Amino acid sequence: MRVVFPFSAIVGQTDMKLALLLAAVDRTLGGVMVFGDRGSGKTTAVRGLAALLPALPVIAGCRFNCEPDAPSEACAGVCHHTGVGQSPAPVVDLPLGATEDRVVGALDLERALTLGEKAFEPGLLARANRGFLYIDEVNLLEDHLVDLLLDVAQSGENVVEREGLSVRHPARFVLVGSGNPEEGELRPQLLDRFGLSVEVRTPETLADRVEVVKRRDAFDRDPAGFAKAWKNKDAAVRRKVAAAQTALSDIAVPDAMLEAGSRLCMAVGADGLRGELTLLRASRALAALEGRAAVTEGDLRRIAPMALRHRLRRGPLDEQASTTRIERAMDELLAA
């Protein structure tokens, strides 16, 4: 099994790590978009996240990661169930060059040619069900795949109608994307589907840069040994995420916090109502992650920039950065 760089060993990048953990606690957040410089640890953080996710109860042998008490109709003739067990939460990469058949699934050519049967071969969306779908350089993804992802992300279901096949299966996943804005813009329709957006930068202090190089060099020389040295810290984060998932439904959200979130969205001109919903869900997940019983104003302040910066309308003469606008609005509204 491939050894990945431990999540806990990543130096700095506090916002990125927090956003990923919040998405792991509450998968209804809508995913995470990570913008930033090349070589700043975006992909490393996403791959390290997989090791922190609690195992899922699954139907053994199911190729759609179905829940044990709700198997998909698509399983018939495709999966060979052998009981109920547990499996790591899937983190699936969607390559930029992937074909549509590879993403959504297609006719199983081997069975068609050898047995003369029409059978479905599940794609990447089936593998990502109940897990994470990761797209590196998502801003370079082809338009037809973007349209496909928008449909599935909205419905939570993948529908395949081709080659005489008619298949429908669940595809509920957390979408995680990374990209460098200098290499191309992300379509607004897809950007809006991400619940949180964070910006990462190359470390600016000498101490941080040296520590990054030391840890990466140690990992490259002995991946297994380095991962073992950080095993306990990763395990502690995993327990924290599992506890937060359990406590999430009991976290109280006072009406005053809901009103503050709506006032903030109105003040900064956030498009639609997804901003309010994301503020609510992410603040609740943060309270659960930190072991508190209710959402506070401090939660809103920490969450607002990553929940709203990608939802703001910006005029051609507006030189003020989105994050700065949000922070000023918070200072004015929450201090009142």
- Round the average pLDDT of the chain to a whole number and report it: 81
For the stretch 151-183, pLDDT in tens is 787 778 888 777 667 778 888 888 888 877 777
Flag whether pLDDT at 61 surpasses 90. no
Q: pLDDT grade, residue 244 (50/70/90)?
A: very high
Give the pLDDT confidence score for residue 247 in this predicted structure: 92
Q: What is the pLDDT of residue 214?
A: 92
27 is catalytic: no
In which band, very low, low, confident or very high, does the pLDDT at 320 lie, cut at 50, 70 and 90? very low
pLDDT in tens, 18-58: 999 999 899 888 888 888 777 667 778 888 887 778 777 77
Give residue 319's pLDDT. 41
Query: What mean pLDDT comes out for the span 233-259?
Result: 90
Q: Which two tokens stand for residue 211?
A: 């520590």
Q: Over the stretch 89-116, which tens digit does the pLDDT of each residue have?
A: 788 888 888 888 888 877 766 665 566 6
| 263 pLDDT above the threshold of 80 | yes
In single-letter form, the type of residue at position 118 comes to K
The predicted model gives 308-324 an average pLDDT of: 64
Whether the pLDDT of residue 119 is over 90: the answer is no
- As a whole number of angstroms, the distance between CA 106 and CA 289 comes to 40
| Phi, psi values for residue 133, rounded to 5° | -110, 120
- 30 near 276, Cβ under 8 Å? no
Pairwise CA distance, residues 277 & 258, whole Å: 9
Out of 130, 274, 284, 311, the active site residue is 274
Question: Residue 290's pLDDT band (boundaries 50, 70, 90)?
Answer: very high
Whether residue 316 is predicted with pLDDT greater than 70 in this model: the reply is no
- Residue 5 pLDDT: 86
| Reduced 3-state DSSP string for the chain | CCCCCCHHHCCCCHHHHHHHHHHHHCHHHCCEEEEECCCCCHHHHHHHHHHHCCCEEEECCCCCCCECCECCHHHCCCCCCCCEEEECCCEEECCCCCCHHHHHEEECHHHHHHHCCCCEEECHHHHHCCCEEEEECHHHCCHHHHHHHHHHHHHCEEEEEECCEEEEEECCCEEEEEECHHHCCCCHHHHCCCCEEEEECCCCCHHHHHHHHHHHHHHHHCHHHHHHHCHHHHHHHHHHHHHHHHHHHHCECCHHHHHHHHHHHHHHCECCCHHHHHHHHHHHHHHHHCCCCECCHHHHHHHHHHHHHHHECCCCCCCCCHHHHHHHHHHHHHCC
Neighbours of 113 (CB within 10 A): 9
Q: Which of 314 and 234 is assigned the larger pLDDT?
A: 234
Residue 211, CA atoms < 13 Å, CB-side half-sphere:
11
Name the residue with higher pLDDT: 4 or 320: 4
Supply the pLDDT for residue 180: 75
Residue 301 pLDDT exceeds 70: yes
User: 77 CB contacts (<8 Å, ≥6 apart)?
Assistant: 119, 120
Checking DSSP bridges between strand 32-36 and strand 196-200, what pairing results, if any? Answer: parallel
- pLDDT score recorded for residue 117: 63
Residue 318 has pLDDT above 50, yes or no: no
